[in-house]
Amino acid sequence: MKHKAIFLDRDGIINMERGEYTYRMEDFVFVEGLVKALKKFIKHDYKLIVVSNQSGISKGVYSFEEVEKLHAHIQRYMRMNGIEIDEIYYCPHHPDTGLCICRKPDSLLIEKAIARFNIDPSLSYFIGDRQRDIDAAAKVNVKGFLLPSNTPLIELADQITNLAHSN
């Protein structure tokens, strides 16, 4: 059976975009209304997958361990609120330090999720706050929604689940 998914960028969609790298717990703040929106997606049988560029790793600003600690915090918080994030994928690379195909706007991390979770791209959506998020989604035929950073997702969740319900 094919599944549908909501792909989410991290900074600016899940947590507040601060205009600088977010890798410490004390700088991490969830976007308002996130839990309510994610619960709505889950109620409509969407898998939840985070796809994030974390180039501060390759630049030496922060470590893999710091990113993993923050992602464990996200998972704990979501589970406490009855939400399961199916996976968090991230690219540690930066174009200044080397080439890769996992950094958005490339689509390798989305492709991995599609294969692993048997996702139907035509039933799935990517929510991001940068054009590179939408470009990565388009490469694998996932519909993208470009939102301003730090926008609560509930209205979009209503729109997506109403679209899905009407099909």
**Maximum C-alpha span of the chain:** 47
**Residue 166: which H helix or E strand, with range?**
helix 154-166
Write down the catalytic residue from 11, 106, 129, 133: 11
Q: Is 96 annotated as catalytic?
A: no
Query: Any residues with CB less than 8 A from the CB of 30 and at least 6 apart, and which?
Result: 14, 15, 16, 77
79, with CB counted inside 10 A (0-12, 13-18, 19+), is exposed
Q: Per DSSP, what are the bridge partners of residue 53?
A: 91
Write down the catalytic residue from 9, 106, 129, 133: 9
Q: Is 27 annotated as catalytic?
A: no
144, with CB counted inside 10 A (0-12, 13-18, 19+), is middle
CB atoms within 10 A of CB 116: 13
Name the residues annotated as catalytic.
9, 11
